[in-house]
């Protein structure tokens, strides 16, 4: 039978219109469902996964923002501690969760050290997460035992060069913040010293205060109480600005050592693929919480400053920090030790 050309064209046009119409309806349905989900969010409590133990600094920072965030969201934000492997266990929990806004997690500076050192992780540090915002910065300080005959950073550097390999630096574990800062300091100052690794900052600080180690790069929270008691001497803040808790202690760049400014920092992320409306809601409410004067006061007591930034800014910061620490690790010949 001979097929009519006009009928074929009408058939194809009808089919094309049907397919296009179906596609448009499908897109509208997806958009409507997404919009509905965002409008309904949150409809239940939200878990905030912290990859460190209760009482740790990341845990303290997380618990400082959860009351305000719970109030803003109208649902309880519950901290869930999943400690282990330097925060990797907690990060994996977040990475493997549904991107629905009901599981979020904290990250910190140590989050970036393992990929910088080339360790294979069960997730992609950049691609597995949706950045939400920074939470804040804290201060690290160069603290020495009172027996060290150096009253300032320049005298301390001179001492290290005078006695290469003799002084002992305390570090709270391989690839910890204190370890990475010590290696960076060594590179920038051309000094040489031994680094003694501890299982956590607690045991390390005990040995430092006891005089078994000569110095360390430790959090201001820990250092200040010991300095006030005369058990440690603070030579410099390792961050980008002086701390109001120790206004007389200069930042490291002020005393002639550039390129060693390393703040503690904490951020908030969600699993990759978080819908934009939910990301916007979380970011908007978190910004209000972090800019609240009460939050700033609470952070200061924990030797920290709340900081809000955009998802893009946090994402760019993560990438740049990994690149920086990769360079440091290569220059220092550092490797993950198991």
pLDDT band at 43 (very low <50, low <70, confident <90, very high): very high
pLDDT band at 221 (very low <50, low <70, confident <90, very high): confident
pLDDT band at 272 (very low <50, low <70, confident <90, very high): very high
Task: Write the DSSP symbol of residue 200.
Answer: S
CATH class, 46-138+264-332 region: alpha beta
- The DSSP bridge pattern shows strands 140-144 and 233-237 to be antiparallel
pLDDT greater at residue 94 or residue 10: 94
Question: What residue ranges in 151-191 does DSSP mark as E strands?
Answer: 168-171
pTM beyond 0.85, yes or no: no
Q: At residue 30, does pLDDT exceed 50?
A: no
105-164 pLDDT, tens per residue?
Answer: 999 988 888 899 888 899 999 999 999 999 999 999 999 999 999 999 999 999 999 999
Provide the CATH topology of domain 140-255. Answer: D-Maltodextrin-Binding Protein; domain 2 (3.40.190)
Q: What are phi and psi for residue 286, nearest 5 degrees?
A: -65, -40
Q: How much is the pLDDT for 99?
A: 98
Q: At residue 15, does pLDDT exceed 50?
A: no
Q: How much is the pLDDT for 173?
A: 78
63-94 pLDDT, tens per residue?
Answer: 999 999 999 999 999 999 998 887 889 999 99
**Interaxial angle between packed helices 220-228 and 201-209, expressed in degrees from 0 to 180 and rounded to the nearest 10:** 30
**% residues pLDDT > 70 (the chain):** 88
Q: How much is the pLDDT for 53?
A: 86
Q: How much is the pLDDT for 17?
A: 55
9: CB partners within 8 A, 6+ apart = none
Q: How much is the pLDDT for 19?
A: 44
Question: Domain extents for the chain?
Answer: 46-138+264-332, 140-255
* Angstrom distance (rounded) from CA 273 to CA 100: 8
Q: How much is the pLDDT for 32?
A: 42
Q: At residue 2, does pLDDT exceed 60?
A: no
* Angstrom distance (rounded) from CA 314 to CA 199: 29
223: CB partners within 8 A, 6+ apart = 141, 143, 232, 234
Q: How much is the pLDDT for 37?
A: 52
Helical segments of 229-310, H only = 276-290, 293-301
Is the fold of 46-138+264-332 the same as that of 140-255?
Answer: yes
Q: How much is the pLDDT for 175?
A: 77
* Mean confidence (pLDDT) of the chain: 88
117: CB partners within 8 A, 6+ apart = 175, 325, 329, 334, 335, 336
Mean pLDDT value across residues 267-277 = 98
Q: What are phi and psi for residue 130, nearest 5 degrees?
A: -105, 110
Q: How much is the pLDDT for 285?
A: 98
Q: How much is the pLDDT for 254?
A: 94
Look up residue 337 and give its two tokens.
Answer: 């030790």
Q: At residue 298, does pLDDT exceed 90?
A: yes
């Amino acid at each position: 039978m001979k097929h009519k050309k006009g009928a074929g064209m009408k058939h194809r046009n009808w089919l094309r219109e049907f397919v296009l119409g179906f596609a448009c309806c499908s897109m509208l349905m997806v958009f409507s469902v997404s919009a509905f989900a965002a409008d309904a969010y949150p409809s239940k409590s939200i878990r905030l996964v912290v990859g460190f133990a209760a009482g740790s600094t990341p845990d303290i920072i997380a618990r400082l923002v959860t009351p305000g965030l719970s109030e803003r969201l109208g649902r309880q934000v519950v901290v869930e501690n999943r400690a282990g492997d330097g925060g990797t266990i907690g990060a994996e929990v977040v990475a493997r969760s549904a991107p629905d806004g009901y599981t979020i997690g904290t990250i910190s500076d140590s989050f970036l050290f393992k990929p910088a050192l080339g360790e294979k992780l069960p997730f992609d540090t950049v691609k597995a997460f949706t950045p939400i915002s920074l939470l804040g910065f804290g201060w690290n300080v160069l603290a020495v035992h009172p027996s060290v005959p150096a009253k300032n950073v320049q005298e301390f550097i001179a001492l290290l060069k005078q006695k290469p390999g003799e002084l002992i630096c305390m570090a709270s574990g391989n690839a910890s913040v204190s370890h990475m800062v010590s290696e960076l300091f060594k590179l920038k100052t051309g000094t040489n010293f031994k680094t003694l690794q501890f299982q956590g900052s607690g045991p390390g600080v005990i040995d430092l205060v006891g005089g078994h180690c000569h110095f360390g790069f430790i959090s201001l929270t820990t250092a200040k109480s010991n300095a006030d008691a005369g058990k440690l001497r603070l030579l410099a803040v390792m961050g980008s600005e002086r701390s109001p808790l120790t206004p007389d202690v200069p930042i490291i760049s002020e005393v002639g050592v550039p390129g060693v400014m390393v703040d503690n920092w904490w951020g908030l992320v969600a699993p990759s693929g978080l819908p934009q409306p939910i990301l916007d809601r979380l970011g908007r409410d978190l910004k209000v919480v972090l800019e609240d004067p009460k939050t700033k006061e609470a952070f200061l007591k924990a030797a920290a400053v709340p900081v809000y930034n955009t998802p893009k800014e946090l994402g760019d910061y993560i990438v740049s920090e990994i690149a920086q620490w990769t360079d440091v690790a290569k220059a220092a010949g550092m490797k993950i030790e198991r």
